[in-house]
Chain A
Amino acid sequence: MANQKLKKLTPVQQQYQKFAQAHEPARPLLRNLTMAFLVGGTICFIGQLIQMAFIRYFGFNERTAGNPTVAILICITAILTGLGVFDKIARIAGAGTAIPVTGFANSMVSAALDARSEGLVLGVASSMFKLAGSVVVSGVVAAFFIGLIRTLVAMGG
């Protein structure tokens, strides 16, 4: 695909592309992977602590404690995003904050905040899923087909 794009450009532009590519700073892969591991692991560690607190003090069991835990993490993310702290952590952590449910929450909160000036209904409400929508749609479509297959197999067998 990259080659197709290149062919549409003028020779000068092609030259520039090559020049830019050669001077692009190499992504520090090892450092990024380490930060993703440490921050992502820490978020899940905190999640596990919250889950244990729900089991011990609020009468949840291991199966039901996952949902309130996710809700608490989303609430914390919303506050940190609103205060502008989350983006600073995310810049260092990369996938470490994007892959846990915090990334999903952050994408919704930041989309909602950015659209605040356009009003609550047309701005906040309609823009909220601008980024997170892709995740919901791909998940639901995948779940539909997988659920369909599993149900048909169960009916046939």
Chain B
Amino acid sequence: MYRARGLHRTNGGNEALILLWAFVVGGLICVIGQFLMDVFKMTPANTVSLMVIAGAVLGGLNLYQPLVRFAGAGATVPITSFGNALVQGAIAEGQTHGLVGVITGIFELTSAGISAAIVFAFLAAVFFRPKG
């Protein structure tokens, strides 16, 4: 269902519009994070963890995918997307393999982010020296 719709250009094919929404929605998600840090005095680690869980909950309620279609990278670049992708992977495998699939499917869609982060962090540690 999603695949079929995903082939169509989001937001009626207007690329300038989706760039604008990526900026606005991505910016607003960061504002929520900054608000949690400044007003509720949460540490960055707690804030980011909470955002990931929020993304997972929204994904479980089928509310995150519409945001991705609407705002593109504005929804896929913030860390909330990581929570959503974990849940989508778990649900998709759960549908085909039952309860075992929930475990085997969790990292199905997030492999790119985790692998890239591990590889590039390792390479950075090899080639750079810590600053300050």
Contacts and interface: CB of A to CB of B under 8 A. Distances in A.
B30 A147 contact: no
Secondary structure dominating the interface of A: helix
B99 A44 contact: no
B129 to A, nearest CB: 7
Question: Which of the listed residues A73, A146, A155 has the most CB atoms from chain B within 10 Å of its own CB?
Answer: A146
A44 B44 CA distance: 19
A95 B30 contact: yes
B78 A100 contact: yes
A132 to B, nearest CB: 7
Question: Which of the listed residues B23, B47, B49, B129 has the most CB atoms from chain A within 10 Å of its own CB?
Answer: B23
B115 to A, nearest CB: 8
B113 A33 contact: no
A139 B56 contact: yes
A14 B26 CA distance: 42
A29 B44 CA distance: 16
Chain A interface category by residue count: 35 or more
B63 interface: no
Contacts of B57: 142, 146
B14 to A, nearest CB: 12
Contact of B94 (A36, A83, A154): A154
Contacts of A87: 131-132
Contacts of A104: 48, 79, 82, 113, 117
A13 to B, nearest CB: 20
Interface in A77-119: 77-79, 81-84, 87, 94-96, 98-101, 103-105, 108-109, 111-116
Interface in A104-148: 104-105, 108-109, 111-116, 120, 124-125, 128, 131-132, 134-136, 138-140, 142-144, 146-148
A18 B126 CA distance: 46
A136 to B, nearest CB: 7
Interface of B: 2-3, 6-7, 9-10, 15, 18-19, 22-39, 44-45, 47-49, 51-53, 55-57, 59-60, 68, 71-74, 76-83, 86-87, 89-91, 94-95, 98-99, 101-103, 105-107, 109, 111-118, 120-132
6 contacts: A33-B35, A37-B31, A113-B124, A124-B125, A128-B122, A136-B114
Given A62-B9, A66-B76, A100-B30, 7 more contacts: A82-B128, A100-B79, A112-B125, A116-B130, A139-B56, A142-B56, A148-B90
